[in-house]
Amino acid sequence: MSPALIAALPFLGALLPGLLIRAGRNACATVTGFVTLLALIGLGLHIPAVLRGEVIRTQIDWLPALGLNANFMLDGLGLLFAGLILGIGLLIILYARFYLSPRDPMGQFYTYLMLFQGAMLGIVLSDNILLLLVFWELTSLSSFLLIGYWKHLPEGRQGARMALAVTGAGGLAMIAGMLILGQIAGSYDLSDILQARDAIQASDWYLPALILILLGAFTKSAQFPFHFWLPHAMAAPTPVSAYLHSATMVKAGIFLMARLWPVLAGTPEWFWIVTSAGLITMVLGAVIGLFKDDLKALLAFSTVSHLGLITMLLGFGTKAAAMVAMFHILNHATFKAALFMVAGIVDHEAHTRDIKRLGGLRRLMPVTFTIATLAGLSMAGIPPLNGFLSKEMMLEQAAHTPPGLIGLLATLGALVSVAYSFRLIAHTFLGPQRTDYPHKPHDPGFGLWAAPALLAGLVVAIGLMPMTVAGWLVDAAAGAVTGTAAHAHIAHWHGLANPALWMSLAAIGGGLVLLGLHPTLDRLWTALPRPEAKRIFDGLMEPLAALSRHLTAALHPGMLSRYLWIATATIIIVSYYAFRSGSHLPGARALTEVEPIAAIGWLLLMAASVAVVLCHHQRLLTLILIAVVGLMVSVGFAYLSAPDLALTQISVEVVTVILLLLALNFLPKTTPRESSVPRKVRDLGLAALGGLAVGGLIYALMTRDFAFPSIADYHLANSKTLGGGTNVVNVILVDFRGYDTFGEITVLGIAALLIFALTESLLSPGAANDRLRGWVSDTPDAGDRHPLMMVVATRMMLPIALMVGIYIFLRGHNVPGGGFIAGLVVAIALVMQYMASGFGWTAARQRIDYHGLIGAGVLVAAATGIGSWFAGRPFMTSNYGYFEIWPLEEFELATAALFDLGVFLTVLGAVMLALSSLTRLAVRAGQTVNTEAFDMQSELEAEEP
């Protein structure tokens, strides 16, 4: 089985428990265990090869551009860890089957567990550090789910989030570190990186990379000062604690340090950072653990302490120390997993894990007691158990590493470790039997104690026959870490001259004394103020969250004026900066004379604009002033020889003013005064700056010539010959750039649909609808709603206006006019009918739906464009010809005119749909609908009862 498949198996298997839980809990657990067993067998088949020193690889290209490849390898180090992950995983699956209560969703649990198992296997089998990062973050995510498994417990949720925050942050730092490492080595493949020791250690980026990678490793392995999350992760169900927080996940950081040991270790930086972090963690964890009453918390800090021990050994940077580290990883996994399971059993049976409420369980739970004692003594380092072996080897390494303080502190750590181990055994199981257990405990069924018993058996077996049971594995792992063949010499007796013997004895003796003093010390400890990790963490997180909330709310108050102020200021400042930082020459064009008539128009425009600002609280007046501005712009176009624009502008003005008037009817007639004086000053300054900037820009543009020949020359030259029209503006609109027009009429059509949809939502039940129903006009209506004079006049004007519209439409291609203007003119003629005789009367005579008009318009325009495909030409290629049909003179027919018809229909439909939507609002607001051509308001009122 290839390493890739071994790593993939748990992921594939993760689907099964979720499905098979329907077949029962036993089936669910069995299939999960089977998948793990399969992977374990697959791993086992490689043992002979790995022991021969071979490295088994699988290489799959994934993202070669980045150097991220799905390359896996299995060597001695991978074998040790993968064996632990799968072996203990199998025991955990068995244990969890009997541990979880019927209320716990077991399928979910096993799915998460398998995801986690796969992620861990991925880490230890990766041959590519980016791939390793992928799995690294996956362990953070899957452990988040596992810690928070008991969703209803706040401790679980908070513990999960804290673990994710700390390990996630470390993981992100590690991403940076790994990228740097890979860039130095020129490859992200571990096999290449492990060859690049000299290049890496000589690089300027060595220290940053080291620190960033160690951040990842320390957070994951709960090294000081990141140790605080681990005890809070103990809110997880015990199988999770036993698996993640003793045997596997917390060892991922250790694994990483071991994996990169050949390239990162051996420098003073490495020695000081890693050794001191490990040493501090070891002593601190042990001391805190001694005073914990919760069994799992005690074990958690013990784990922290032991991880510190292993980290310290790796920090020494010697091959011998690295070998001891490997051995202790194995030993710690066996006794600590067993102890966690024991803690779970006690909790399960006695319904408490509080040591102070326990004691005397020896006779009630003899099997559990035996297991706990074996594992606990191993943790304390009592011969001949396996914990003793590796601890003594550790002490020897510490004694031989200067400065002497290391040996002293290591002995102190071991001493405290003895104390809490004995306390665990003594205060839980020894002493008199009590009567006040929350639940009368007894030994659990075989299913629950089988797994820890097996582990305890291993503790003894390794202790008695270390070379036979574990020596080969330690050799293989140490060989892989150090890159040279390793031969462990593990023995119980090294002679009297060995300092470790005396350190060990001191530790055991001191530990017993410390245990004796525990009640006194415990009172002292409780009285002492000490930093509470959770409070500090919450003290950081909650303000950060609150700060984010406040900052975000303060920055986004939902005030358009603020948003636009910032946008305008940004635009002005950035544009000004861009201008000032570039070279500029004034334009070469001469200024034209100012003629009196132009000056008057200009003054009028200015005056009307200023008046809009001054009078904007009175909305009706403002509308009229805006109309004046629009009118002057139209006049300006006409004056500047742009009759098409002038015609368009003036018809647009008429239509918009009418529609705005209708809309204004339902709005307050005045705008409330909302702006403070400072804000007015700010806005005034901003507006002045913006106006000056735009004015300056336009001045600069209008006083210069094009730097290159303009495309306009082509349009002027070819409008008649190729476009078939002498009105260049119209030919541009319907031909040269007909596609733009196609887009713009769609915009117009959509805008009308929008008005309709908005009206529709206002008319559906809701607050706006209620307001409309209750709306009372604040201005007196004219008694003569549909004056006779107006009705007659508009009727007479209708055919004339329609004819003018058609005329403007037809002539558009050659002289000012076209579909857009024609559409507006016809729309105005129809709007007049509405104004004169009211909605009801007019609507009754309307046969075409305005939605349809818009749809038809866009379709006609599109169809004209598509038509050219059939002539083998691109979309919107125009054609024209001259025809002579008696009695008419010769005339021109152009496909562009058909397109213009689409424009015409859309414009007409859009205006009319907007109008009819507003009218529907009026009807809802209580205005009566007349069916006659003209009526008198007073008559209607008189008729109503």
* Distance of closest approach, residue 757 Cβ to another protein, in angstroms: 4
* Distance of closest approach, residue 763 Cβ to another protein, in angstroms: 10
583 is a contact residue toward another protein (CB under 8 A) = yes
**Residue with Cβ nearer another protein (149 or 369):** 149
Binding range to another protein, per CB under 8 A, among 132-140, 196-204, 681-689, 791-799: 132-140
The residue from 3, 749, 816, 817 that contacts another protein (CB under 8 A) is 749
Question: In Å, what is the CA distance from 539 to each residue of 166, 215, 530, 584?
Answer: 14, 21, 15, 56
* Distance of closest approach, residue 884 Cβ to another protein, in angstroms: 27
What are the φ and ψ backbone dihedral angles of 777, each rounded to 5 degrees?
A: -60, 135
Q: Are the beta carbons of 395 and 410 closer than 8 angstroms?
A: yes
Q: How far, in Å, CA of 114 to CA of 37, rounded? A: 12
Q: How far, in Å, CA of 117 to CA of 112, rounded? A: 9
CA angle, 83 as apex, 70 and 218 as ends, to 5°? 70
8 is a contact residue toward another protein (CB under 8 A) = no
The residue from 434, 439, 487, 550 that contacts another protein (CB under 8 A) is 550
Q: Angle formed by the axes of helices 250-259 and 76-99, to 10°?
A: 170
Q: Are the beta carbons of 611 and 625 closer than 8 angstroms?
A: yes
Give the burial class of 903: count Cβ atoms within 10 A of its Cβ; 0-12 exposed, 13-18 middle, 19 or more buried.
buried
How many C-beta neighbours within 10 Å does residue 175 have?
Answer: 18
574 is a contact residue toward another protein (CB under 8 A) = yes
For residue 263, what are its two tokens? 């390239």
* Distance of closest approach, residue 815 Cβ to another protein, in angstroms: 22
Q: Are the beta carbons of 302 and 342 closer than 8 angstroms?
A: no
The residue from 22, 48, 52, 61 that contacts another protein (CB under 8 A) is 61
Q: Are the beta carbons of 324 and 393 closer than 8 angstroms?
A: yes
699 is a contact residue toward another protein (CB under 8 A) = no
The residue from 4, 138, 184, 772 that contacts another protein (CB under 8 A) is 138
* Distance of closest approach, residue 811 Cβ to another protein, in angstroms: 22
Q: How far, in Å, CA of 224 to CA of 920, rounded? A: 72
The residue from 5, 604, 806, 862 that contacts another protein (CB under 8 A) is 862
Under rule CB under 8 A, which residues in 702-721 are in contact with another protein?
702, 704, 706-712, 714-715, 718
775 is a contact residue toward another protein (CB under 8 A) = no
The residue from 154, 431, 438, 509 that contacts another protein (CB under 8 A) is 154
866 is a contact residue toward another protein (CB under 8 A) = yes
64 is a contact residue toward another protein (CB under 8 A) = yes
Beta-strand ranges (E) seen in 350-505 are none
For residue 384, give the nearest of 342, 423, 331 by alpha carbon: 331
Q: Are the beta carbons of 605 and 632 closer than 8 angstroms?
A: yes
Q: Are the beta carbons of 868 and 773 closer than 8 angstroms?
A: no
12 is a contact residue toward another protein (CB under 8 A) = no
The residue from 315, 463, 738, 819 that contacts another protein (CB under 8 A) is 738
147 is a contact residue toward another protein (CB under 8 A) = no
151 is a contact residue toward another protein (CB under 8 A) = yes
Per-residue mark of binding to another protein, 528-547 (x: CB under 8 A): -------------x--xxxx
Per-residue mark of binding to another protein, 795-824 (x: CB under 8 A): ------------------------------
Per-residue mark of binding to another protein, 100-129 (x: CB under 8 A): --------x---------------------
579 is a contact residue toward another protein (CB under 8 A) = yes
272 is a contact residue toward another protein (CB under 8 A) = no
How many C-beta neighbours within 10 Å does residue 499 have?
Answer: 15
701 is a contact residue toward another protein (CB under 8 A) = yes
Task: Give the count of residues interacting with another protein (CB under 8 A).
Answer: 130
* Distance of closest approach, residue 346 Cβ to another protein, in angstroms: 26
Question: In Å, what is the CA distance from 364 to each residue of 99, 376, 422?
Answer: 19, 18, 19
737 is a contact residue toward another protein (CB under 8 A) = yes
* Distance of closest approach, residue 801 Cβ to another protein, in angstroms: 26
582 is a contact residue toward another protein (CB under 8 A) = yes
At 58, is the secondary structure helix, strand, or coil?
strand
The residue from 101, 520, 526, 552 that contacts another protein (CB under 8 A) is 552
**Residue with Cβ nearer another protein (580 or 845):** 580
Binding range to another protein, per CB under 8 A, among 55-63, 482-490, 526-534, 660-668: 55-63
Buried b (16+ CB within 10 A) or exposed e, 757-769: eebeebbeeeeee
Binding range to another protein, per CB under 8 A, among 260-268, 390-398, 418-426, 572-580: 572-580
How many C-beta neighbours within 10 Å does residue 85 have?
Answer: 31
Q: How far, in Å, CA of 206 to CA of 184, rounded? A: 9
175 is a contact residue toward another protein (CB under 8 A) = yes
Torsion-angle region of residue 187: left (phi > 0), alpha (psi -120 to 50) or beta?
beta
* Distance of closest approach, residue 381 Cβ to another protein, in angstroms: 39
172 is a contact residue toward another protein (CB under 8 A) = yes
Residues near 548 by beta carbon (within 8 Å), at least 6 away in sequence: none
Binding range to another protein, per CB under 8 A, among 499-507, 669-677, 816-824, 853-861: 853-861
Q: How far, in Å, CA of 424 to CA of 293, rounded? A: 9
| Whole-number CA gyration radius for the chain | 43
For residue 481, give the nearest of 250, 331, 319 by alpha carbon: 319
885 is a contact residue toward another protein (CB under 8 A) = no
922 is a contact residue toward another protein (CB under 8 A) = no
CA angle, 15 as apex, 13 and 18 as ends, to 5°? 120
The residue from 551, 613, 684, 800 that contacts another protein (CB under 8 A) is 551
**Residue with Cβ nearer another protein (699 or 807):** 699
The residue from 41, 874, 932, 941 that contacts another protein (CB under 8 A) is 874
**Residue with Cβ nearer another protein (527 or 701):** 701
144 is a contact residue toward another protein (CB under 8 A) = yes
For residue 818, what are its two tokens? 């076209």
758 is a contact residue toward another protein (CB under 8 A) = yes
Residues near 620 by beta carbon (within 8 Å), at least 6 away in sequence: 664, 669
Query: What is the residue-wise DSSP string for 840-859?
Result: HHHHHT--S-HHHHHHHHHH
429 is a contact residue toward another protein (CB under 8 A) = no
* Distance of closest approach, residue 88 Cβ to another protein, in angstroms: 24
Q: How far, in Å, CA of 123 to CA of 761, rounded? A: 56
For residue 8, give the nearest of 97, 134, 175 by alpha carbon: 134
The residue from 57, 157, 682, 720 that contacts another protein (CB under 8 A) is 157
585 is a contact residue toward another protein (CB under 8 A) = yes
Q: How far, in Å, CA of 241 to CA of 247, rounded? A: 9
**Residue with Cβ nearer another protein (132 or 830):** 132
694 is a contact residue toward another protein (CB under 8 A) = yes
The residue from 66, 606, 687, 800 that contacts another protein (CB under 8 A) is 66
613 is a contact residue toward another protein (CB under 8 A) = no
The residue from 9, 133, 625, 655 that contacts another protein (CB under 8 A) is 133
Helix and strand element counts for the chain (H, E): 40, 4
Is residue 208 reached through a cis peptide bond, with omega within 30 degrees of 0 on the bond before it? no
**Residue with Cβ nearer another protein (115 or 395):** 115
Under rule CB under 8 A, which residues in 623-682 are in contact with another protein?
none
Question: In Å, what is the CA distance from 186 to each residue of 164, 195, 519?
Answer: 31, 11, 58
735 is a contact residue toward another protein (CB under 8 A) = yes
